[in-house]
C-alpha cells in the first residue's frame, strides 16, 4: 500500500519555466490537498479538492494551478516559475473533507523545488 | 478564522527525560486538534487527535497530548524521550471535518 506518491522528488527550474508536480493516492480518499513548506512558515495550503471534479483555492494560490484528473490524481502546475516558489511541496489526501468527523490527512514524501 | 501557535522553535531534552511540545489554538466552536510528526526528508505523519471526551489523548510511539479548554492548549507530551523522537512536530486545529490549519512547527532534539 503506497499511500500518497509524489513525483518528482527533486526539481531545479529556471525563472519562467513551467512544470507540473504529480500526486496520486491509492486509499480511495475523496479529498486531496497541495501544501508548501517553508522554513519558519510551517505548512501553507495552496489548493485543495474536496472531491473529484472540484477544486478550491487555499491560503497561497497565486502562481499555481491544479487539476483533479480523477479520484486518485491531483496535479499542481507552475506556469511561470519564480524564485519565491522555491519550496518543498507536499500532497496530502483524506477520506472526506467538510463532512462529519476529524479530517486526518495522509501526506506524501514531498517534492523539493528550486527556482533559479 | 482558526489559528495555531507553537511558541517554541526548538525544544531540547535529554534522552530518558520527559518532553513537552507546546501548542495553543484559536477556533470558533469546538476544536478538532491534531499532532503530526515529520522526520528528515519525509512527509508528515499523523500522531494523535482530539475530538471530544477525555482530555488526555494517547497516540503513536508513546506520545500523548493534553487538551485544556480554559487555556486553549493542546500540549504534546512523552514520559521518557528517545533519541529517535528527534523530529519536527506540527500542531494543527480544525473545526469539524474541515481543513486543518497547521502551526509553524517545533524542532525536537533529544540528546543522548
Would you call B49 an interface residue with chain A, using a CB distance cutoff of 8 Å? yes
Name the minimum distance, in Å, from the CA of A15 to any CA of chain B: 25
Query: How confident is the model at residue A41, as a pLDDT?
Result: 86
Please report which confidence band the pLDDT of residue B42 belongs to, taking 50, 70 and 90 as the band edges.
confident
Pick the closest to residue A109 from B101, B45, B49 (CA basis): B45
Name the minimum distance, in Å, from the CA of B50 to any CA of chain A: 9
Q: Are A100 and B97 in contact (CB under 8 A)?
A: yes
Written as nine digits, the cell of B80 is: 521518557
Please report which confidence band the pLDDT of residue B94 belongs to, taking 50, 70 and 90 as the band edges.
confident
Q: Are A72 and A82 in contact (CB under 8 A)?
A: no
Tell me the Cα Rg of chain B.
13
The pair phi, psi for residue B28, each rounded to 5°, is -80, 135
Name the minimum distance, in Å, from the CA of A28 to any CA of chain B: 17
In the stretch 54-83 of chain A, residues with CB closer than 8 A to chain B read 58
Q: Of B29, B87, B100, which to mutate for an interface test with A (greatest number of A Cβ within 10 Å)?
A: B100
Q: Summarize pLDDT for A46-90 with one digit per residue, the tens.
A: 999 988 989 999 999 999 999 998 999 999 999 999 999 999 999
Q: What is the mean pLDDT of chain A?
A: 92
d(CA B79, CA A101): 29
What is residue A80's three-state secondary structure?
A: coil
Amino acid at each position: 500500500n503506497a499511500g500518497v506518491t509524489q513525483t518528482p522528488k527533486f526539481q531545479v527550474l529556471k525563472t519562467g519555466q513551467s512544470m507540473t508536480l504529480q500526486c496520486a493516492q491509492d486509499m480511495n480518499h475523496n479529498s486531496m490537498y497541495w501544501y508548501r513548506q517553508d522554513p519558519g512558515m510551517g505548512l501553507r495550503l495552496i489548493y485543495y479538492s474536496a472531491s473529484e471534479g472540484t477544486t478550491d483555492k487555499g491560503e497561497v494560490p497565486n502562481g499555481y494551478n491544479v487539476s483533479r484528473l480523477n479520484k486518485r490524481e491531483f496535479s499542481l502546475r507552475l506556469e511561470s516559475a519564480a524564485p519565491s516558489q522555491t519550496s518543498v511541496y507536499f500532497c496530502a489526501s483524506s477520506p472526506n473533507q467538510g463532512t462529519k468527523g476529524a479530517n486526518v490527512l495522509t501526506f506524501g514524501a514531498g517534492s523539493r523545488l528550486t527556482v533559479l | 478564522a482558526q489559528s495555531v501557535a507553537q511558541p517554541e522553535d526548538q525544544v531540547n531534552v535529554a534522552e530518558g527525560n520527559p518532553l513537552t511540545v507546546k501548542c495553543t489554538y484559536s477556533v470558533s466552536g469546538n476544536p478538532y486538534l491534531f499532532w503530526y510528526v515529520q522526520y528528515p526528508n519525509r512527509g508528515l505523519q499523523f500522531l494523535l487527535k482530539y475530538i471530544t471526551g477525555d482530555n488526555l489523548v494517547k497516540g503513536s510511539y508513546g506520545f500523548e497530548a493534553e487538551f485544556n479548554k480554559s487555556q486553549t492548549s493542546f500540549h504534546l507530551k512523552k514520559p521518557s524521550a528517545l533519541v529517535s523522537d528527534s523530529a519536527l512536530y506540527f500542531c494543527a486545529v480544525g473545526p469539524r471535518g474541515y481543513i486543518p490549519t497547521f502551526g509553524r512547527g517545533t524542532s525536537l532534539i533529544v540528546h543522548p
